[in-house]
Structure 1
């Protein structure tokens, strides 16, 4: 008897600022694909939630800290932040209009509807690198999840975020004692070194076990007070 495999169903396909972005349904999962590169899906979300929690835990007990989430994705990070009343302002920067639309009135709305309705939430349609270079706003935490990691970027232009100049821009928009948290599909000792060279303190990596393969990771650094 022939084996039957689920064939992913394309729900939407668009051209965005950095190329093709696709939303697929594969069985019960929703998947985001950028230029043919798998970015994320709705299978778990533990590491995205850890990204937000690790940043909050690394902060001092300041009241209503403001967080910038880089990348809306499937909405796990935003939904988790909005579910915690301790966070103050929650700003999400997403460059793909398609992803924003999928959350506002598309297949991903179920995951983020309550978070988008939260008065603390603001969605900004912009490239994250441009935003951190140009904004006059400051934040207590930056939770960045726009790539598969510092060494596995979705587009070449994202490399600049993890460079000395990019990390300096991240530090500029952080308040003293603020936390930079960066999600990665695998731990990166090289990026830990980059964080230290950029002046971040208390640099460490939290690993999140996955079903198979190397663990996901959250890289953390604190801007000096």
Structure 2
């Protein structure tokens, strides 16, 4: 078996953890201190996050979408594939290293979504955008950390609190969609979404898409 090769690493802001990029043949893996966050062979549920949310925007003439978390670019690519030519996709990524990886060795995995003219990349914590922009987005897609039960950064926890969800709601246009990816289901979080003023649909998505794999959770929360 081909061994994993460490390509690069970067510290996680606000914590003692380190994010590492590995390669094994044509397969890539991003891990934090031994825990795998994403793998280039397993992105079916990330695709579903964008496809399910953006399908609801099909009738809008110029939809505006915010994606929190660049990852390996699959969520952004899936969103672009579902949006029209007048759409705007804002991608917020906190770590400059992740951006560099997506412009470098990972660029071709998802078809170079950062080169799409509809994409605006912001190297910033998505929480800052949610706290400062009001009713600016038709959809917000959050694929940050591992969902409500995060692994990498305690600062991400705010996104999944009542305060964070209320801020996300305020950043959405009326009837806008907040779509959230999680490695696991969480009934308490579903309840919290409803308390924050959303109608909620829970969708299970397979890690490998039609090929199966682990079951992940996607919340599709519509602003009331």
Q: TM-score under structure 2 normalisation? A: 0.89
RMSD, aligned CA: 1.9
Provide closer, same or farther for how the CA distance between residues 180 and 153 of structure 1 changes in structure 2, counting only shifts above 3 A.
Answer: farther
**What 5-or-longer segments of structure 2 have no aligned partner?**
none
Q: Which position in structure 1 is the counterpart of 2:54?
A: 56
Question: Which structure carries more relative contact order (alpha carbon 8 Å, separation 6+)?
Answer: 2
1:16 Cα deviation after fit = 4.2
* Range with bigger deviation, 15-24 or 61-70: 15-24
User: CA, structure 1 residues 7+161, in 2 after alignment: closer, same or farther (shift >3 Å)?
Assistant: same
Distance in 2 between residues matched to 1:189 and 1:79, nearest whole Å:
29
Q: Secondary structure at the match of 1:38?
A: strand
Matched, 1:129 2:127: yes
> Is 1:165 aligned to residue 200 of structure 2?
no
Runs (4+) of structure 1 exceeding 4 A deviation are 210-213
Cα deviation, 1:182-210, whole Å, max 9, x if unaligned, reads: 00112221111010010102x01110134
User: What's the CA shift for 1:113?
Assistant: 5.3
- Tell whether the 8 Å contact from 1:52 to 1:81 is kept in structure 2 after alignment: yes
Given that 1:83 and 1:115 are in contact with CA atoms closer than 8 Å, whether structure 2 keeps it comes out as no
- Displacement, 1:61? 2.3
Q: Structure 1: give runs of 5+ residues left out of the alignment.
A: none
How far apart in 2 are the matches of 1:221 and 1:70? 15
Report how many aligned residue pairs link the two structures. 217
How far 1:181 moved relative to its partner?
0.3
1:199 aligns with 2:192: no
How far apart, CA to CA, are the structure 2 residues paired with 1:221 and 1:56?
13
CA distance in 1, matches of 2:189, 2:88: 28
Aligned to 1:175: 173
Q: Which residue in 1 is equivalent to 2:185?
A: 187
Q: After alignment, is 59-68 or 176-185 more displaced?
A: 59-68
Taking the aligned partners of 1:159 and 1:209, their CA distance within structure 2 comes to 24
Mapped contact 2:64–2:139 kept (Cα < 8 A): yes
